[in-house]
Structure 1
Amino acid sequence: MKTTLATLTLAALFLTGCATPKQWEATGGSKNDGVVQTSYELGQFESGQTDAGQGLAVATARCKTWGYKGAEITGSEKNICRTMGQYNCLQTTITQDYLCQK
């Protein structure tokens, strides 16, 4: 009975995933359009934990290297499945767009 309970507990923990700290990285955009894209990756059982301020700092730094004064968030996060398994997504890319400020 103890073995079954321990196995069920471990299985429940495994299936619910874990909150994994993730860092936003500048992954795209356009200097001419003044748009910066930041992203991070999630595995199948991961639940990403991000800091919106860190994402804004990454975008602001990119905008400043392009000659802009700062950045502001635009729209909402986009989730794109990069690797599809038989029943669910195995790898997801989360992307956020920022608009550079003049």
Structure 2
Amino acid sequence: MAKSLFIICFSIILSGCSVKKEIVPIGGSKADGTVRMGYTYGDKFGAFEVPVVDIERANELATKKCKTWGYEGAEAFGGKTENCGMSNGFACTRMNVAIEYQCIGGKSAQY
């Protein structure tokens, strides 16, 4: 019984803790028509943290930024870039994640 309980507890720990993360604009270029959205994770549960990100919200924010620059919308390039933001010497304890968007359409796209 104790062995089964240990295995269950260990499995729960390894499965990670889902944590909702807010994605925000972190950079971009009007001239290039790109918007960079990002978030960090690992702050609360380290390597066991599993980020949950609202990608639709990220699309909305990137589109809004592109529209202020004269474009019609935005679409993600695809994929994401992850960099270690903080390490404890053994593993990365905070990850920085960026998703790049390309502004599309509109007068600004014709230049």
Q: Same fold (TM over 0.5)?
A: yes
Q: In 2, distance between residues paired with 1:17 and 1:51?
A: 19
Which position in structure 1 is the counterpart of 2:85? 82
Tell whether the 8 Å contact from 1:73 to 1:98 is kept in structure 2 after alignment.
Answer: yes
Measured against aligned partners, the alpha-carbon deviations of 1:22-50 in whole angstroms (never above 9, x if no partner) come to 12101001011000000011012310011
Offset at 1:97? 0.4
**Larger relative strand fraction:** 1
Measured against aligned partners, the alpha-carbon deviations of 1:35-78 in whole angstroms (never above 9, x if no partner) come to 00000110123100112211111100111111111001103111
Q: In 2, distance between residues paired with 1:13 and 1:87?
A: 22
The 5-angstrom pairing of residues 30-69 of structure 1 reads: 30-43=29-42, 44=46, 45-69=48-72
Which position in structure 2 is the counterpart of 1:17? 16
For normalisation by structure 1, the TM-score amounts to 0.84
Q: Mind listing any 5+ residue stretches in structure 1 that lack a counterpart?
A: none
Q: In 2, distance between residues paired with 1:77 and 1:50?
A: 12
CA RMSD of aligned residues (A): 1.9
For normalisation by structure 2, the TM-score amounts to 0.78
Q: Percent identity?
A: 33
**Length, aligned pairs only:** 101
